[in-house]
Structure 1
Amino acid sequence: MTIDEPKLQELRAALPELPFDDQGPVFRAPWEAQAFAMTLALHERGVFTWPEWAHALSEAINEAQASGDPDLGDTYYAHWLRALERLSTAKGCVSGEMLAQRRIEWDEAARATPHGQPIALKRTLTAATLAAYRAAIYRIHAQPDIDMKIGIANAAVASLLARHESESAVFVTAFNPFGHVLSPEDNAARQHRLIERVERMGLQALPGAGIDPLNIWLAETSLLVLGATPQIADALMTEFGQNAVVFVDSAGLPQLRLHPDYH
């Protein structure tokens, strides 16, 4: 893994016990490198500071040692992963329920994978979930509001994109990742991070809401991100844990775009 020198120095200052050699961080297994990369990405996106991370990691290590961990160095990234889970939960990136469900999914995938083969975690969407997405109203808070429906070209949306000189857009929320219903406070915090993420991308966004016409599920605060490409749609969907987003082309045609894991 390659890290530029300023970031490397900052990281080493914050985490002096991090295993290093002349080429950078040292990992004993691929999952350790993945956990490290996830942490680095979350820090770069402003989810937490290095002092916050150092504190969370120190707590995880101290708890393990108090429980009898011999602290020989081979469990360092187990503590790292625990700290990552805790801090990500505290920051509203995931919920405890989501982590528990993901552990179950990985366990099932591991038991279904032949020995020696890489474990592949496959997501599935039920027909009912897809039907709900297709039936939903995707409302853009403009003047006046514009309601989009999947597969139906909308002249008002096409005009909106033209006025903003945008060839495409994506309608996305950070609410209820992968269908796991979170508290209003957690959803609001996640949506705020989505807004900040879009701003850092240098893109303009309009507020909106995903609405269930049957009122079975509550409306989800959303954004119409102007100028977003399919690649940006996938990046936001992945980062904020969404099963799908709505991609809109210059003709104002909204289409459901599924998470890359479903492709």
Structure 2
Amino acid sequence: MVALHLARRTVSGPLLRLPGEVKAVVANGSAIPPQMIAAYEAAEYRIEADPPIVLRMGQMSEPLAGLMVDKNMKSAAFLTACNPHGQMLGAADNATRTAALGAELERFAPLVLPACGVDPAGRWPDEPGFLALGCPPAIIEALGRRHRQNALVLCGEDAVPRLVLLR
């Protein structure tokens, strides 16, 4: 079997290429409004770990790097199932979607930690999600699309969070 490589447009950095993943070029345009992309870029992604980890776009995370080395993982991704395509849902709907995503991630990722996307300005409600370590990026992207997400956060071995647009 030939390994294919996909090139993925990231907003916070150059094309992200992780060894062994399939890469496809994403079109230059996006259906996501620029202000929403800016909000994703400004968000904090808080991971329930010991010690807690806070991810910020484009900033290497020493705690995440340490966790990845300790657990022998080459990638990590933050993903939520809340508010599909940026449309606000009620708490019960979001909780159901979060539980479904968690169950799916448990099938594909060796390590899944609870996490939350937080708007530091407080204009958008917190979105519960997960940090999935060691799950192939192609599977993470497929899950993001299945749960109708605009974007997700992907970290390679460098432990630098990058926004990956899904539409």
**Residues 1:242 and 2:132 aligned together:** no
Q: C-alpha separation between the residues in 1 aligned to 2:41 and 2:130?
A: 18
Alignment: residue pair count: 139
Q: Report if the CA contact (8 A) 1:155-1:251 is conserved.
A: no
Match of 2:51 in 1: 144
Q: Which has the higher contact order (CA 8 A, sep 6+)?
A: 2
Match of 2:118 in 1: 211
- Secondary structure of 2:129's counterpart equals strand
- Secondary structure of 1:200's counterpart equals helix
Match of 1:178 in 2: 85
Q: Report if the CA contact (8 A) 2:75-2:154 is conserved.
A: yes
Divergent runs of 4+, >6 A: none
TM-score by length of 1: 0.51
Paired-residue identity, %:
37
Match of 2:60 in 1: 153
Root-mean-square deviation (Å): 1.4
Structure with the higher strand share, 1 or 2: 2
Q: Report if the CA contact (8 A) 1:170-1:247 is conserved.
A: yes
The structure having more radius of gyration, on CA atoms, is 1
Match of 1:192 in 2: 99
The code of the aligned residue for 2:36 comes to T
Q: Deviations over 1:45-66 (max 9, x none)?
A: xxxxxxxxxxxxxxxxxxxxxx
Structure with the higher helix share, 1 or 2: 1
Q: Deviations over 1:128-153 (max 9, x none)?
A: 11110000001111112111100111
Q: Name which of 223, 226, 233 aligns with 2:130.
A: 223
Runs (5+) with no aligned partner, structure 2: 1-28
- Cα 1:123/1:130, change in 2 over 3 Å: closer
The code of the aligned residue for 2:165 comes to L
- Cα 1:224/1:202, change in 2 over 3 Å: closer
Runs (5+) with no aligned partner, structure 1: 1-121
Q: Report if the CA contact (8 A) 1:168-1:250 is conserved.
A: yes
The code of the aligned residue for 1:210 comes to G
Q: Report if the CA contact (8 A) 2:109-2:132 is conserved.
A: no
Q: C-alpha separation between the residues in 2 aligned to 1:126 and 1:213?
A: 19
Q: C-alpha separation between the residues in 1 aligned to 2:139 and 2:78?
A: 11
The code of the aligned residue for 1:181 comes to M
Match of 2:16 in 1: none
